[in-house]
Structure 1
């Protein structure tokens, strides 16, 4: 075999190797552009905080307080994922009206006892549930960044580990009876397995109020749950009776304090209940 034939064979063999190396070099130098952030909207700051924690840089979370406002309406119409407390949310009404194709995560869908509750976001169990549901939806919508969403959820679960532990420990207390001056925390109390001494104190007549005072005097009520906003005559009467009979009073604020994460706020509420039951 002469030299010209050998050179020709070597050339033919080297061509595909050269092409491979060129493409490999190009692939190494070319960065994959980031995907467009998922547009998430909600009407609840608690869910905004959870969604931001899960989505990270791969999501843009907007708080919509007035969907008829021109600027907020424009943001809402770009929604790819909508997060709300219940099906009664105005966001869902408008989404249907404007035929938005956004996915939905609705907290009330994950309550299994069939009852209707207010302020579902106040429950620690809701925070934990929503972290998982939001992660699932984002991972399905944007599988390219699934690992990031899952990692972010794990980080959030680490931050809420104390919250989850105290919640589970409080559930171990049996035969707990509480009296609430409003029902905003009914879901959490039900999840804890605690019994309410009255469903609506403001509708009670004088005889029923006297009966509740007697139960406190007889130590048949473990603690009274009230909010800073509860200032009716019935509320004040029951709080006065509780203090007179040394029944612990747990006071909370229904409005999430500014610059406070929902999971930190919930942890402080659980610690107050924990303290009350230890008295």
Structure 2
């Protein structure tokens, strides 16, 4: 019901976007980027350097882009952009229509579809693999250069700068992957699956996690299988999305702790005061500690 309300709300907002865009003119030649989330805005800001601005629509770490309801303020923000960066894959689809209604004919870059060439139906949490963020930086540099050829070298250098900023994350991913080796882990939701795959782990409860993410009660067989995996230590650890709650999740986390199965706590959105690198390292260091304890 909430998704239907969001769709109904977007229609008049799109009309407002079009109206705002018709009267919006660039005050200078700098590129103006609007991104759905703060971590995508951070990539764009780094690649732009002094040649533009990048602003996120969503700053509140408690707001999920999947459930975000755009307002007239959102419309005015998007109307000023000539580049719009969305996650895509159905995750922040409210931004697609707003970008297309932009009177400045903003370029819409959907990370899932336009950078990674994926289709709706795959795991949309693509930012949790740092390799995807590197690809986004490269894509942005190329697209910014087309709009502003005289600063092409700067954009390319800035993209490489962003890639270097990710090195603490990519180095730790490589380190952890050596110990992952296809070992099984469980998750309360598929939010962190792409990072877990990057470090070599295999998700044992995919069906259960997807059912929870969709807001449905898990099938009894899926719930029982996860409970048995925890009780019998068939998984290395459990990954909990701490921004999602409910009796079932609480009971699973409690069972994991009772069975002495480590729990890795992650969030779907960027915590206040963090950047992409510090955010990812916080989660990876929890896995690192688990691997070190297991190796003793």
TM-score, with length taken from structure 1 = 0.77
* Match of residue 17 from structure 1: none
Is residue 238 of structure 1 aligned with residue 240 of structure 2? no
Query: SS of the residue aligned with 1:144?
Result: helix
1:223-253, Cα deviation, whole Å (9 max, x unpaired)? 1000223332221222222222221110122
User: Which blocks of at least 5 consecutive residues in structure 1 are unaligned?
Assistant: 1-34
* Match of residue 220 from structure 1: 234
* Match of residue 30 from structure 1: none
* Match of residue 197 from structure 2: 190
Pairs aligned (count): 244
2:154 and 2:257 map into 1 onto residues whose CA distance is 50
Is residue 74 of structure 1 aligned with residue 76 of structure 2? yes
Instruction: Report the CA distance between 1:270 and its aligned residue.
Output: 1.5
Instruction: Report the CA distance between 1:127 and its aligned residue.
Output: 2.2
Query: SS of the residue aligned with 2:49?
Result: helix
Instruction: Report the CA distance between 1:87 and its aligned residue.
Output: 5.0
Query: SS of the residue aligned with 1:117?
Result: coil
- Among 93, 96, 108, the residue aligned to 2:100: 96
* Match of residue 252 from structure 1: 266
User: Which blocks of at least 5 consecutive residues in structure 2 are unaligned?
Assistant: 1-27, 59-68
Structure number with bigger Rg: 1
**Pairwise CA RMSD:** 2.4
What does 1:260-279 correspond to in 2, within 5 Å?
Answer: 260-278=274-292, 279=294
1:68 and 1:230 map into 2 onto residues whose CA distance is 24
**Cα distance change, pair 80–125 in 1 and its aligned pair in 2 (3 A):** same
* Match of residue 174 from structure 1: 181
TM-score, with length taken from structure 2 = 0.73
1:75 and 1:229 map into 2 onto residues whose CA distance is 27
What does 1:1-279 correspond to in 2, within 5 Å?
Answer: 36-65=29-58, 68-70=71-73, 72-86=74-88, 88=90, 89-98=93-102, 100-109=104-113, 110-111=115-116, 115-172=121-178, 173-199=180-206, 200-201=208-209, 202=212, 203-206=217-220, 208-278=222-292, 279=294
Instruction: Report the CA distance between 1:49 and its aligned residue.
Output: 0.9
**Cα distance change, pair 100–189 in 1 and its aligned pair in 2 (3 A):** farther
1:158 and 1:207 map into 2 onto residues whose CA distance is 45
User: Is the 1:52–1:61 Cα contact (8 Å) retained in structure 2?
Assistant: yes
